[in-house]
Structures are given as C-alpha cells and as structure tokens.
C-alpha cells in the first residue's frame, strides 16, 4: 500500500508540473508585447513594421521631433482624417513631450494592414503589417 501511495504522489507531482508549464506557456503566448517607435523631425525612424497578430503596447519616443507628438493607428484604406476610424487604444495616454517617451493602452491587432502616423508632428503614413 505504501508503494501505491508513493507512485500516486509521483504521478500527481508530475501532473502539477505539467499543468504549470502549460498554463505558463499559454500566458506567455498571450502576453502584451511592446512596439517601440521613435519620432524625429517630420518622420518616424521606423518606416514599416511587420508583426504577428497579438496584443501590443506602442511606446513612442519624441527625439526632438517637436514640442509634442502623438500616434494615430488606422486600418489601411480608412479615412485618416475621420477620428471614428482611429484605433483609440493606440493613442498615447499623454502627448509625448520633447525628449520623453509615452505608451499606449494595450491594442489587439488582427491580421491585416494598418497605417500609423503622427498628426502633431506631421509625418507620412507608414505601414504596419500584421501576419
């Protein structure tokens, strides 16, 4: 009977370790990733990006681009001048002052093409491809 108890204890221990590994790897797959963007005068230094579908926080750095900068993200082909088309979670939570960095809220990106730009330090529109 003692042997059966020891065997059962080993099986339970192995099961707990296996479940812990599965839950931790699933949590890492769903973790929020960071996309770092830097603005200089009139442009982002990252001209195009390709990422996997998932949840991201954009981190925007103002490298002497202007007094204040921001970020707008839209689906490619949408009218950028219409705020209804902006992905609001991709706005920086506070405008980015010169020499500072700010983050956005977590933004879930599905497969497709998006466009990002700054309306405050007018930049071209750059493509973000999500695969």
List b or e across 36-72, with b for residues whose CB sees 16 or more CB atoms inside 10 angstroms. Answer: ebbbbeebbeeeebeeeeeebbbbbbbeebbebbbbb
Give the separation between CA 5 and CA 12, rounded to whole angstroms.
10
CATH number of the domain bearing residue 46 = 2.60.40.420
DSSP 65-98: S-SEE--EEEETTS-TT-GGGB-GGGSBSS-EET
Domain assignment present for 125: yes
CA distance 58 to 66: 19
**pLDDT tens-digit profile, the chain (131 residues):** 555 556 555 544 554 454 444 444 444 446 999 999 999 999 999 999 999 999 999 999 999 999 999 999 999 999 999 999 999 999 999 999 999 999 999 999 999 999 999 999 999 999 999 99
What lies within 8 Å, CB to CB, of 57 at 6+ separation is 32, 33, 34, 35, 103, 104, 105, 106, 107
Q: What is the pTM of this model?
A: 0.76
Q: Please report the pLDDT score of residue 25 as a whole number.
A: 42
Neighbours of 17 (CB within 10 A): 10
Residue 19 resides in a domain = no
In a domain? residue 27 = no
Q: Examine residue 6 and state whether it is found in any structural domain, yes or no.
A: no
Q: State how many domains the chain has.
A: 1
Q: Which domain holds residue 79?
A: 33-130
87 domain residue, yes or no: yes
Report angle CA 92, 65, 119 to the nearest 5 degrees: 50
């Amino acid at each position: 009977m003692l042997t059966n108890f020891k065997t059962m204890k080993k099986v339970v221990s192995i099961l707990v370790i296996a479940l812990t590994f599965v839950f931790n790897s699933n949590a890492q797959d769903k973790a929020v990733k960071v996309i770092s963007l830097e603005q200089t005068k009139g442009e982002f230094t990252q001209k195009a990006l390709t990422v996997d579908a998932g949840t991201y926080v954009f981190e925007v750095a103002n490298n002497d681009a202007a007094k204040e900068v921001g970020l707008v993200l839209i689906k490619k082909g949408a009218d950028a001048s219409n705020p209804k088309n902006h992905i609001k979670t991709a706005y920086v939570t506070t405008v980015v002052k010169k020499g500072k960095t700010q983050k956005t809220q977590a933004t879930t990106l599905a497969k497709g093409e998006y466009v990002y730009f700054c309306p405050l330090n007018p930049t071209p529109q750059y493509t973000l491809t999500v695969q």
